[in-house]
Structure 1
Amino acid sequence: MAYKLVIKPEVYTDIQSGIDWYNSKQEGLGRRFFEAIEKEYAVLKKAPAFQVRYDDVHCLPVKKFPYMIHFIVEEDAKVVVVLGVINTYLNPNKWKERK
Structure 2
Amino acid sequence: MKNFKLVIKSNAQLDLKENINWYNQQKKGLGKTFYSYVKKKAKQLQNYPYSAENRYLEIRTAVVEKFPYMLHYIVDYNNKTIIILAVLHTSKNPDTNYIK
TM-score higher than 0.5 here? yes
Match of 2:38 in 1: 37
Gaps of 5+ in 2: none
- Identity among equivalent positions (%) equals 34
Partner residue of 1:5? 6
Could you say which structure has the higher helix fraction?
Answer: 1
> How far 1:98 moved relative to its partner?
1.8
Length, aligned pairs only:
97
Question: How do residues 17-96 of structure 1 correspond to structure 2 at under 5 angstroms?
Answer: 17-49=18-50, 50-91=52-93, 93-94=94-95, 96=96
Report the aligned-residue RMSD: 0.9
Q: Which whole-Å CA distance do the structure 1 matches of 2:91 and 2:25 have between them? A: 18
Residue segments in structure 1 that go unaligned for 5+ positions in a row: none
TM-score computed with the length of structure 1 as normaliser: 0.93
Aligned amino acid, residue 98 of structure 1: Y
In the alignment, the residues of structure 1 paired with residue 25 and residue 79 of structure 2 have an alpha-carbon distance, to the nearest angstrom, of 40
Q: Secondary structure at the match of 1:18?
A: helix
